[in-house]
Copies of this chain bind each other. A is one copy, B any other.
Amino acid sequence: MLAETIQKSQIISRFSEVRDYSCSLCEPLETEDYIPQPVPFASPPKWHLAHTTWFFEEMVLKKYNSDYKEFNPHFSFLFNSYYQTIGDRAIRAERGSITRPSIDKVYDYRNYVDHAICKLLESNTTKELHDMITLGINHEQQHQELLITDLKHTLHFNPTWPVYEENYDLTDDKNRKDSWIKIDSGIYEIGYKGDGFCFDNELGRHRVFLDSFEVSEALVTNGEYLDFVQDGGYKNFKYWLDEGWSWVINENIHQPLYWKQIDGKWYQYTLAGLKPLKPDAIVTHISFYEAQAYSTWKKRRLLTEFEWEIASDHIPWGQRWEWTYSAYLPYPNFKIADGAVGEYNGKFMINQMVLRGASSATSPGHSRASYRNFFHPQHRWQYTGIRLAK
């Protein structure tokens, strides 16, 4: 009974903490910043705030509280993330067109739902409910990271280089060590182990055989990457995958996203505004194509996600998502959950590459060695970096 009370108070407190963190991320914003969606793959802050709330309303309150009165019937339609028919899909690229409800109403919506969730958690202490709340918390944390990276992407379209927060984005990697760690060959276990939360795509723990390999303790820096740029890395077909080269040519790519060369000097757009490029900082906003081309130029290679997971005990990580040369595919015995929750991860297991680690934008308490992040090889608006192997 006491244990239950403690657990109840813990989940309420965790829930509130994560929900509040979303709002705190938006403190530096002006109302106008909540709205635009310049590209289909990134969503506006208003949408992130509302959609994460929708999850709790739709997946929790409507299911576990029979007295629950919907905040606004339109919201269920407006803030659902994922529809299967054409008409509704159009909505996805049009999130930035939806001015009403205003952001004030969205904050009201958050308060209303938060209150209802906390009240529900007081009375219902089943594992089923707690699991769903935990999924919602983790879902919200994923959107917290997207909120920051999407926002950065939107703000960079503004030629006046808006500042989100004066001290954001300016880390330097002072303690980096330039050594190689050797991992022995053998049969290893891969996938989430433990009784905490993990996503379905981490399950199906299984054995893989790995040959021995060496992994760099440090991530590639801006300075090292600049050598590649200045050595003509973006002009020489031979370093690139065929589709990577098409991307370079068709999209007119000459440097990492957010790098600018002005009067011969290099700058980098950060959430603290436009800043001179720091050579010792970790290079970031790199596509898989760029990571692969850099590694070829450097006569090294990227790790597989399995190598990374095994190496993770021996290397510092968590500053940048690290591209692996593994495609995002189901683990053996991967199982898709029934219903809407099951549409979550398995649907995307094609044409995407796995990233491991975490980044400075990852929410506190949301990292694990078994976490499988994934993006298309051309995308680079996340905080993505490069770790080499040999």
Contact = CB atoms under 8 A, between A and B. Distances in A.
Interface of A: 30-36, 38, 46, 74, 77-78, 84-86, 91, 94, 96-100, 102-103, 154-155, 157-160, 162, 187, 206-209, 211, 237-238, 241-245, 249, 288-289, 292, 325-327, 329-330, 332-333, 343, 347-351, 353, 377
B84 A245 contact: yes
Contact of A162 (B99, B343, B353): B99
Contacts of A36: 35-36, 96-99
Contacts of A162: 99-100
A interface majority secondary structure: mixed
Contacts of A292: 350
A296 to B, nearest CB: 8
B209 A242 contact: no
Contacts of A353: 350
A26 to B, nearest CB: 13
Given A160-B100, A237-B84, A32 B30 contact: no
A106 to B, nearest CB: 10
A94 B96 CA distance: 12
B97 A158 contact: yes
Contacts of A350: 241-244, 288-289, 292, 353, 377
Contacts of A330: 325
B208 A208 contact: yes
A209 B207 contact: yes
A103 to B, nearest CB: 7
A157 B94 contact: yes
B377 A351 contact: yes
Contact of A211 (B85, B159, B207): B207
A290 to B, nearest CB: 13
A157 B327 contact: no
Nearest to A208: B209
A253 to B, nearest CB: 13
Contacts of A244: 350
Contacts of A103: 32
Contacts of A206: 211
B237 A97 contact: no
Contact of A209 (B187, B237, B327): B187
A85 B240 CA distance: 13
